[in-house]
Structure 1
Amino acid sequence: MTGDAHASQDLGERWLEHGRERLKSVDLAPRAETFGLVEEVADGIARISGLPDVRLNEQLRFEGGEMGLALTLDADSISAVLLDEATGVEAGMRVSGTGEVVRVPVGNGLLGRVVDPLGRPVDGGPPIVETDRLPVERPAPAIIERDLVSQPVETGVLVVDSLFALGRGQRELIIGDRATGKTSIALDAIINQKHSDMICVYVAVGQRATAIERAIEAVKAHGAPERCIFVAASAAEAPGLQWLAPFAGFTMAEYFRDKGQHALIVIDDLTRHAATHRELALLTREPPGREAYPGDIFYLHARLLERAARLAPELGSGSLTALPIAETDAGNLSAYIPTNLISITDGQIVLDTRLFAANQRPAVDVGLSVSRVGGKAQKPALRQVSGRIRLDYAQFLELEMFTRLGGVSDTRFKDTLTRGERIRAVLSQPRFTPLRQADQVALLAALNTGVLDTLTPEAIAALRPRIAPALDDAASDLVAAIEAGEKLEFAAQTRLADVVRTLVESGHG
């Protein structure tokens, strides 16, 4: 029994010593916890009292687990925009600050997924495997950190690549009235990256859920969805999520840019984003300005789009190209939001309702559209054959208007009208049928040498899909040279035109 008593005593001493060691690591000092109270909730905004130490744009956590964002700080209250459904937030509920700004997951685990602006999957798939979490608001690269835009973004849309070329790191606005094909051009650009090294991010802001589904299905059917990220904030989502969506999309795309890769982001669209910002600003009692938009609406979109850039070699030479979309009313480009965005971006592709109604697809207005940067990145072969197309087409459109009104004689300008009609037929292109640069060069070379003058517009449309296999068979060396960015001698351009001529003469057109 004595031995058992000693063993029991040793065990007790060891347990006591272990307890003392554990107590040393426990912080027994008093801890202050600050929390506020929800005073009222309405229209996606919660007005909160207390929380004197909360900072602007800090993420807040409500008692039921819902999240919010401190949008305005007044002397005695905070206006927070809800990032979840407001059904679980009630007056009298406790709110605490997290000390953190809103962060979203980034990394390869997002590729091929459909997520909400907080990075939560909404496609029914497994949880996101994130590499890191980065703030949605990040500073744009400084001037010294940027490099010249010198590499092309090939959209596969002939009218864009030949007349308004885009460069990696550029911001090109796609603007036009409702239902004129703005999203179609952006999706064509995403789909054409199927064989490139670009990561694509599609951000839907305030769109109908069915429209978002159609866009995603189009990329899945024709593109490479495994290298795309879809950020969906439909019109049914909380206004806070719609407001946050473009910033979250840029952060997800910047991860790849900062790794030295290339990314393309489409924001569809910033007009609805501006309307959401106006809604939240008026609800939080910010003073309205022009067209009831708050004074910071220009800064909001400027700081967003400035994040698109091509980085200097010391930072990896990655690039982020932005294609924001904006909607006009009755073609009014001088409205407040369109003028803001036009002045922020490096050019705009303007879509015209009249052209769309005349079955010109894509309905690009060549007179109002411009690219202020990408021409420097255009591949030499395409630049060689597209030199006069824009001027000739603009002259044709003006002349066509006069002839429609009986202003000039048809016989006098028959050649100009005939060539203009052929240019229009060449620039017309169905959705989801991207053209390689070599196909574009061959088409324009054939146009310049008069090969297409005898064809009807319908015959030119039938000829287009047959050009790629014909070039691969008869001029594969020239295809490789064009893709490599080499200039073409006149003889090489003639050879490309002859390939198209052979197709025409053999009746394949």
Structure 2
Amino acid sequence: MPETATPDSDGSQGIIESYKDGVISIRGLSALKMSEVVSIEGANAQALVMNLERDVAFALVLQASTQVREGLFVKSTGKFLTIPVSEEILGRVVNPLGIPIDGKGDFKADKYMPHEAQAPDVMARKSVHQPVQTGIVAIDALVPIGRGQRELIIGDRQTGKTTVAIDTILNQKGQDMICVYVSIAQREGKTAQVVETLRNKGALDYTVVVSAPAAASAVMHFLAPYAGAAVAEYFMHQGKDVVVVYDDLSKHAVAYREMSLLLR
């Protein structure tokens, strides 16, 4: 009979007590923090801690793996989720973990940006004083959008919400603007069409596409907007202006609700 695995007494190693629907319950890791990344030994996978209770922690498995099962050891990494970034990420399609999914191979990262970073204090932010030209006359004339401003595009299905966002990205050519397009739970065919449109119009040179397709897990859908913001912050810290498009956040809300139900 194989020896039964038991967690370390020093709290640096725990054990998977149960695994269901992409959620593992971990016992024995008493020093875990919220949003910490843990390593699952023997499965080549990591998990994101999303719920802490007195004696057990719940984490969402980040990589698809058939090797995750009850009884495996889990080690604390002491690290939080980050995404690799550099100038080479421009023109690439990556998943929310920063792994390229466009078939062009890896890119060289010169920095790792946290998915969740503290936002600058309100008093430290520069006031909105410069417009973003969307290229759509009705918007630019009647409801102009400023750099540093958030804007909600709302409407029924098939009314052109994505078209407005893509036209805005296309209009940034020559404007010294970086664009980040975040595709959340969209069909891979639709995202491929968007990428092809950007490539044909010469807009992919200054655009990063973060894609969490519909077939991906709820945790990938949940992380996609954070990954897009992290990439944008990398270029922001270099003094560049960035347009970030989230398409769409209603899918993100669905994923967050699904995760909340799984973690109950």
TM-score tier after normalising by the smaller chain length: over 0.9
Q: Which residue of 1 aligns with 2:34?
A: 56
C-alpha contact 1:190 1:223 (8 A) present in aligned 2: no
2:198 to 202, 213, 219: 219
Where does 1:282-431 land on structure 2 (aligned, <5 Å)?
Answer: 282-285=261-264
TM-score for both structures, normalised by structure 2: 0.93
Q: Which residue of 2 aligns with 1:44?
A: 22
Where does 1:91-490 land on structure 2 (aligned, <5 Å)?
Answer: 91-285=70-264
1:67 to 46, 55, 65: 46
Per-residue CA deviations over 1:161-189 (Å, capped at 9, x if unaligned) read 11111111110011111211111100000
SS of match in other structure, 1:253: helix
One-letter amino acid of the counterpart of residue 234, structure 1: P
C-alpha contact 2:93 2:102 (8 A) present in aligned 1: yes
Task: Give the distance between the partners of 2:28 and 2:11, measured in 1 at CA.
Answer: 12
Per-residue CA deviations over 1:16-44 (Å, capped at 9, x if unaligned) read xxxxxxxxxxxxxxxx6721111222222
Structure 1 residue 86 displacement after superposition:
4.3
Give the greater-gyration-radius structure (CA).
1
Q: Which residue of 1 aligns with 2:5?
A: none
One-letter amino acid of the counterpart of residue 109, structure 2: E
Task: Give the distance between the partners of 1:145 and 1:268, measured in 2 at CA.
Answer: 29
% same residue: 41
Task: Give the distance between the partners of 1:89 and 1:36, measured in 2 at CA.
Answer: 14
Structure 1 unaligned blocks of 5 or more: 1-31, 286-509
Per-residue CA deviations over 1:404-426 (Å, capped at 9, x if unaligned) read xxxxxxxxxxxxxxxxxxxxxxx
Task: Give the distance between the partners of 1:267 and 1:233, measured in 2 at CA.
Answer: 11
Task: Give the distance between the partners of 2:26 and 2:158, measured in 1 at CA.
Answer: 41
Structure 1 residue 231 displacement after superposition:
0.4
Per-residue CA deviations over 1:444-471 (Å, capped at 9, x if unaligned) read xxxxxxxxxxxxxxxxxxxxxxxxxxxx
Per-residue CA deviations over 1:377-422 (Å, capped at 9, x if unaligned) read xxxxxxxxxxxxxxxxxxxxxxxxxxxxxxxxxxxxxxxxxxxxxx
Task: Give the distance between the partners of 1:87 and 1:226, measured in 2 at CA.
Answer: 37
SS of match in other structure, 1:185: helix
TM-score for both structures, normalised by structure 1: 0.49
Structure 1 residue 139 displacement after superposition:
1.0
C-alpha contact 1:38 1:94 (8 A) present in aligned 2: yes
SS of match in other structure, 1:173: coil
Structure 1 residue 114 displacement after superposition:
0.5
Q: Which structure: greater strand fraction?
A: 2
One-letter amino acid of the counterpart of residue 134, structure 2: T
One-letter amino acid of the counterpart of residue 196, structure 2: E
Judging changes above 3 Å, is the alpha-carbon distance between structure 1 residues 86 and 46 closer, same or farther for their aligned structure 2 residues?
Answer: farther
Q: Which shifted more, 215-224 or 267-276?
A: 215-224
Task: Give the distance between the partners of 2:58 and 2:11, measured in 1 at CA.
Answer: 21
C-alpha contact 1:109 1:128 (8 A) present in aligned 2: yes
One-letter amino acid of the counterpart of residue 126, structure 1: G
SS of match in other structure, 2:15: strand
C-alpha contact 1:109 1:131 (8 A) present in aligned 2: no
How many matched pairs? 255
* Runs of 4+, deviation exceeding 4 Å: none
Task: Give the distance between the partners of 2:22 and 2:65, measured in 1 at CA.
Answer: 6
Structure 2 unaligned blocks of 5 or more: 1-9
Task: Give the distance between the partners of 2:216 and 2:67, measured in 1 at CA.
Answer: 15
SS of match in other structure, 1:264: strand
